[in-house]
């Protein structure tokens, strides 16, 4: 199965999910890291072995099939993506032909939603070689079937599949091998495998009757043949470099359309609400469903998502153009936002002072120097410490614990989860409180 193309004729179709399989549970646990860290470093070869084991023992299910598409893309590039997407498209069509009793609609919808959320963006950034034209065409054909299924099930992000289809069509056309042949005895021409592009020579005028030339010196007649050769070479070079350079820059910097699709949709909705025609008509049920899908896409994104996307774009820009001002300004802005962490040191100072005060009171009581207020002070100190334990630890303090190694248990991963959850709660409360004050 690893060495040849896998089809549904080789593995049985499983309409359910092998939830009790150890391989499935391990695979699910590893891929869940992508929800918290989209660029998490995973052992893709080991994950591929888990997928193969699931397919052989339990059959091909849509849940694992969607994971398999991302895994194959990471391991084998466009060839792996084409094979795995053809398999997923065949399984979706098979389930549709045999009705909901074979393929649960909820499972199909979940598999497609996971595919749109985790596979589309890596495809935009996947490198391409001259030998990938056939794989790109196969992937585009399979993606067209997957996109139709997503439209029927009204899957969130189904529109982005159509955008990716068009993107793959363009990449498949521009992946032809371009060769520049230069023959000193002939006009320069640009030869492509398909289609053939030829830079034609200038039209030659019909010969006019020969007149008796006026005698002139030979060195007064400039030889312009090299001008035409240079102009032809320059035109051929431009025809090659401009499309290739544009495609390269597009692959490097314009790799965010799938990630920014919810914000683009939100901008279109805002323009729609600002149009005067909307006040005279009601929204249709289809329009409301589309708006609901876009809002759900936005609400499911973590509050740190936009900064993560910006940070990724700044890093990519730094790789393409080292030393550029945009990346430097981004790093400077992030550094300014971390200045508030220094003020969180007061939290540890309060805790230290309370511990010292409690120790001094205990020593005074042991030496029989107690006053009537010592018991009360002990009670106050205990209550303050208990109140601090019951309080939610500030996010800035959690960040300092992670960076300074103050956390004794739980590990860095546990702190990361607490920090992200705390940020999400604060942002949601802030948005809600601003909404309430405007009413």
The tens digit of pLDDT for each residue in 300-357 reads: 676 666 777 777 788 888 888 888 888 888 777 766 655 455 555 666 767 777 787 7
Please say if the pLDDT value at position 262 is more than 70. no
pLDDT for residue 393? 76
Please say if the pLDDT value at position 71 is more than 90. yes
What Cα–Cα distance (Å) separates residue 226 from each residue in 159, 239, 359?
A: 53, 20, 95
**23-54 pLDDT, tens digit each:** 888 888 888 888 777 778 889 999 999 999 99
pLDDT for residue 196? 38
Exposure of 269 in the CB half-sphere (CA atoms within 13 A): 16
Mean pLDDT over 220-232 rounds to: 52
Nearby residues of 431 by Cβ (< 8 Å), 6 or more positions away: none
243-269 burial by CB neighbour count: b if 16+ within 10 A, else e? Answer: eeeeeeeeeeeebbebbebbbebeeee
Query: What is the rounded CA–CA span in Å between residue 402 and residue 400?
Result: 5
Query: What is the rounded CA–CA span in Å between residue 430 and residue 428?
Result: 5
pLDDT for residue 407? 44
Mean pLDDT over 389-415 rounds to: 69
Please say if the pLDDT value at position 68 is more than 90. yes
pLDDT for residue 435? 53
Which of 144-158, 176-190, 370-384, 416-430 shows the lowest mean pLDDT across its residues?
A: 176-190
Provide the β-strand partners of residue 60. Answer: 13
Please say if the pLDDT value at position 7 is more than 80. no
Contact between 356 and 393 under an 8 Å Cβ cutoff? The reply is no
Query: What is the rounded CA–CA span in Å between residue 383 and residue 386?
Result: 5
Query: What is the rounded CA–CA span in Å between residue 125 and residue 253?
Result: 9
Only one residue has tokens 């004050």, namely: 437
Query: What is the rounded CA–CA span in Å between residue 32 and residue 65?
Result: 15
Q: What angle do CA 109, 111, 112 make, to 5 degrees?
A: 65
Exposure of 145 in the CB half-sphere (CA atoms within 13 A): 18
Q: Give SS3 for 60.
A: strand
Contact between 75 and 46 under an 8 Å Cβ cutoff? The reply is no
Which CATH class, in words, describes the domain spanning 22-173? mainly alpha
Alpha helices in 254-300 (DSSP H): 261-274, 285-299
What Cα–Cα distance (Å) separates residue 306 from each residue in 134, 271, 328?
A: 35, 22, 18
Query: What is the rounded CA–CA span in Å between residue 143 and residue 236?
Result: 35
Identify which of 148, 146, 119 has the alpha carbon closest to the alpha carbon of residue 38: 119
Mean pLDDT over 183-211 rounds to: 41
What Cα–Cα distance (Å) separates residue 279 from each residue in 127, 266, 273, 294, 313?
A: 47, 19, 8, 22, 39
Query: What is the rounded CA–CA span in Å between residue 394 and residue 224?
Result: 78
Query: What is the rounded CA–CA span in Å between residue 72 and residue 54?
Result: 15
Mean pLDDT over 202-225 rounds to: 44
pLDDT for residue 325? 86
Q: Hey, CA dihedral for 186, 189, 194, 195, is it positive or negative?
A: negative
Query: What is the rounded CA–CA span in Å between residue 364 and residue 306?
Result: 55
**267-286 pLDDT, tens digit each:** 666 666 666 665 566 777 87
Q: How many Å from the N-terminal Cα to the C-terminal Cα in the chain? A: 61
């Amino acid at each position: 199965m690893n060495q040849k193309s896998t089809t549904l004729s080789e593995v049985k179709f499983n309409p359910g999910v092998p939830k009790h399989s150890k391989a499935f549970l391990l695979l699910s646990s590893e891929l869940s890291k992508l929800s918290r860290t989209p660029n998490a470093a995973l052992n893709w070869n080991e994950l591929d072995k888990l997928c193969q084991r699931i397919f052989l023992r339990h059959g091909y299910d849509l849940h694992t099939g969607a994971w398999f598409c991302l895994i194959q893309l990471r391991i084998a590039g466009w060839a792996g993506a084409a094979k795995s997407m053809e398999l997923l498209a065949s399984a979706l069509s098979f389930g549709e032909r045999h009705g909901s009793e074979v393929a649960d609609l909820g499972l199909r919808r979940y598999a497609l939603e996971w595919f749109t959320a985790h596979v589309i963006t890596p495809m935009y950034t996947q490198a391409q070689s001259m030998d990938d034209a056939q794989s790109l065409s196969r992937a585009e054909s399979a993606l067209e079937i997957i996109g139709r299924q997503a439209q029927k099930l009204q899957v969130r992000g189904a529109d982005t599949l159509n955008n990716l289809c068009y993107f793959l069509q363009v990449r498949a056309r521009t992946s032809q091998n371009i060769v520049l042949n230069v023959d000193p005895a002939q006009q320069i021409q640009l030869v492509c495998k398909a289609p053939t592009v030829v830079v034609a020579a200038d039209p030659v005028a019909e010969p006019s009757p020969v007149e008796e030339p006026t005698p002139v010196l030979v060195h007064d007649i400039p030889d312009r043949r090299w001008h035409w050769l240079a102009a032809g070479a320059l035109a051929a070079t431009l025809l090659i470099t401009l499309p290739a350079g544009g495609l390269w820059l597009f692959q490097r910097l314009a790799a965010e359309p799938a990630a920014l699709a919810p914000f683009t949709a939100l901008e279109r909705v805002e323009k729609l609400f600002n149009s005067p025609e909307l006040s005279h008509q009601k929204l249709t049920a289809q329009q409301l469903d589309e708006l609901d899908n876009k809002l759900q896409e936005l609400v499911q994104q973590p509050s740190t998502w936009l900064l993560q996307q910006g940070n990724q774009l700044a890093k990519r820009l730094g790789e393409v153009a080292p030393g550029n001002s945009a990346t430097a300004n981004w790093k400077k802005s992030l550094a300014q936002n971390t200045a508030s962490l220094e003020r969180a040191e007061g939290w540890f100072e309060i805790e230290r002072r309370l511990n010292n005060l409690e120790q001094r009171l205990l020593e005074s009581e042991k030496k029989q120097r107690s006053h009537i207020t010592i018991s009360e002070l002990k009670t106050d100190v205990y209550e303050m410490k208990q109140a601090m334990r019951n309080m939610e630890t500030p996010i800035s303090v959690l960040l300092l614990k992670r960076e300074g190694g103050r956390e004794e248990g739980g590990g860095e991963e546990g702190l990361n989860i607490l920090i992200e959850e705390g940020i999400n709660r604060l942002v949601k409360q802030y948005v809600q409180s601003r909404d309430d004050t405007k009413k």
